[in-house]
Structures are given as structure tokens and as C-alpha cells.
């Protein structure tokens, strides 16, 4: 089977705003597309400017499916998570090639901003 995607991805610019305005909550998400029939098992490392990384955050993407994962929902086995208002970066490895898109909705101001990009493979 032709390889669709990559096994190693980076999202260097993460930040979840502390406040939201209006009806929509500020958030960030990674959208993972698994084109293969078998599940993809992801291991995510979250890096910070001023503290040790948050390691071993695990997610599974079923075969031939997509999964939208809000970064504020990511937890490791010690129930540590990404703090609000703190810059971070993501390193994502997978046992199967996947495609990763990153999106940010910033509703901290009345004129909200939506940004999306493909991760760096």
C-alpha cells in the first residue's frame, strides 16, 4: 500500500487564550486523518518554555477515520494537561502514517480569528 501521511509531526506554536468572548470558546485542535485500515496509535509530547515536557499522552485513531482532538483535553497517565494561557508545542509520533492538521479558534476579542495549517512532518 502506498504511504499516505507521515509518522512524525510537529506543531511548534500552541497557545490557548485565557479568555473568550461571545458564544464560541477559544480552543485549539489537531485533526488526525488515518487512511489505513488499521488503527493508528499516537504518542504526544507537549513542550513548554518554562517547565518539563508532558510526556506519553496517548490517542488512538480508528482505521479509515478522522479524529478531532482539542488540545485542552489532552492528558497523560498522571492526569497532567496543558495549562490555559501558557505557550506550548506538540511532537506527535504514530505507529502508522497519518496526516495532521492544526487549528486555532481565538475568540478572546469580539472579532474572532480562525487559523488552520498542516503540521510540519
Q: Cell 506554536 belongs to which residue?
A: 13
Q: How far apart are CA 100 and CA 102, in angstroms?
A: 7
Q: What residues contact 92, with CB distance under 8 A and at least 6 apart?
A: 8, 9, 10, 11, 30, 42, 43, 44, 100, 119
The C-alpha cell at 60 is: 488512538
Helix or strand holding residue 85 (H, E):
none
Nearest to 75 by CA among 58, 92, 91: 58
Q: In this predicted model, what pLDDT tens digit does every residue of 85-113 receive, in sequence order?
A: 999 999 999 999 999 999 988 777 777 78
CA distances from 25 to 20, 62, 91 (A): 5, 27, 24
Q: Would you mind telling me the total number of residues written for the chain in this entry?
A: 121
- Domains of the chain (ranges; CATH) run 6-118 (2.60.290.11)
SS3 50: coil
The C-alpha cell at 70 is: 482539542
For residue 112, the model assigns a pLDDT of 77
Q: How far apart are CA 44 and CA 61, in angstroms?
A: 13
Q: In this predicted model, what pLDDT tens digit does every residue of 25-60 receive, in sequence order?
A: 778 999 999 999 999 999 999 999 999 999 989 999
Amino acid at each position: 500500500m502506498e504511504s499516505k501521511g507521515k509518522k512524525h509531526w510537529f506543531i511548534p506554536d500552541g497557545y490557548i487564550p485565557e479568555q473568550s468572548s461571545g458564544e464560541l470558546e477559544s480552543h485549539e485542535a489537531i485533526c488526525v486523518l488515518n487512511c489505513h485500515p488499521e488503527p493508528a496509535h499516537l504518542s504526544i509530547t507537549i513542550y513548554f518554555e518554562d517547565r518539563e515536557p508532558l510526556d506519553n499522552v496517548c490517542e488512538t485513531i480508528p482505521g479509515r477515520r478522522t479524529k478531532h482532538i482539542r488540545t485542552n483535553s489532552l492528558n497523560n497517565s498522571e492526569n497532567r494537561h496543558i495549562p490555559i494561557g501558557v505557550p506550548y508545542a506538540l511532537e506527535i509520533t504514530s505507529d502508522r502514517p497519518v496526516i495532521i492538521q492544526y487549528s486555532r479558534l481565538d475568540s478572546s476579542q469580539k472579532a474572532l480569528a480562525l487559523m488552520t495549517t498542516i503540521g510540519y512532518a
